[in-house]
Amino acid sequence: MIVCENLVKIYKTNDIEVVALQGLDLQIDPGELVAIIGNSGSGKSTLLNMLGGLDRPSAGKLWVDGKDLLKFTDRELVKYKRETVGFVWQNNARNLIPYLTAQENVELPMMMLNGEKSKHTRAAELLDMVGLSHRRKNKLEQLSGGEQQRVAIAIALANNPKILLADEPTGAVDSRTAAQILDVFRELNSTMGLTVVIVTHDQQISRKVDRVVAIRDGRTSSEFIRRRSYREEIEAMESQMDVEAQEEDTHEELAVLDRAGRLQIPREYLEHLGLAGAKMVKVELEDERIVLRNPKTNMEEKAAEAK
């Protein structure tokens, strides 16, 4: 569904250039539920904007649903945004119109669509899917932050998208409400086969997502792969027979190798070896392991042996 190869994004302001993405590689299959995590400035929101057609890459390859976004004209890009993707923002002011009811907010984007069902019926169905059928006549001031975000999800589904993109959807709510919102995404993913990509800094999300991609300095640095399926984990917890399963890490972190065989080494590892800021490192093969050493330390050890 999504293929990014050596993706680069450079923002230019007067004489200043900021490189937001530095050759990012990523592949997401149809029907996947993926979380993208990273520190502020890592490039995760830039990636989401390009997947949503809100920004254009500077270089590289970006294919979504079999379409090359780098070759899109402005008209084709509008059609793509209208028919292929749905977007959920962290800030509800970008999702919702305050003086309309929940139902009217969902109906609004349907005015440009020609569906078989009336927009009124379709909006009611979408609100029911996110668990808000009983609140459809309420205005935003009468809804909690979590309920407003679920209305925003219903709006994002109004155009029957193939991909749902969410930028920090749980950033403005408490942990309990965040869990409820994430459950909505999981339900939509499993029942509709919808491809869902969530950008977040919330570590709680990793327990509800099978695949987590970490971005650091504009590149894919590692992936967190679930040790067993989310369904198996829930069944074990409900049975209360597998106490260790509730305490162990749910995911295993794997470093990502790019096409040239390069990988990003965590900063804390480099600091431990005294290599923070270093330009070179000693790489050795020991049995089945690749070992990194501080070349300065290695030279000091050899000098001591010679004495």
**Mean pLDDT in each 10-residue stretch from start to end of the chain (307 residues)?**
91 82 89 87 87 90 92 91 88 80 88 66 89 88 88 90 90 80 88 90 73 83 66 52 50 72 76 77 84 71 59
- Looking at residue 113, its pLDDT comes to 63
Rounded CA gap, 112 and 116, in Å? 13
DSSP per-residue codes, 176-236: HHHHHHHHHHHHHHHHH--EEEEEE--GGGGGT-SEEEEEETTEEEEEEEESS-HHHHHHH
Q: State residue 244's pLDDT score.
A: 46
Length of the chain: 307
Other Cβ atoms less than 10 A from the Cβ of 260: the count is 8
Q: Are 185 and 128 in contact (CB under 8 A)?
A: no
Residue 43 C-beta-side C-alpha neighbours within 13 Å? 25
Q: The domain 2-84+161-264 is classified under which CATH number: 3.40.50.2300, 3.40.50.970, 3.40.50.300, 3.20.20.140?
A: 3.40.50.300
pLDDT attached to residue 117? 57
Domain chopping of the chain, boundaries: 2-84+161-264, 269-307
pLDDT of residue 76: 92
Interacting residues of 122 by C-beta distance below 8 A, sequence separation 6+:
110, 115, 158
**pLDDT for position 302:** 59
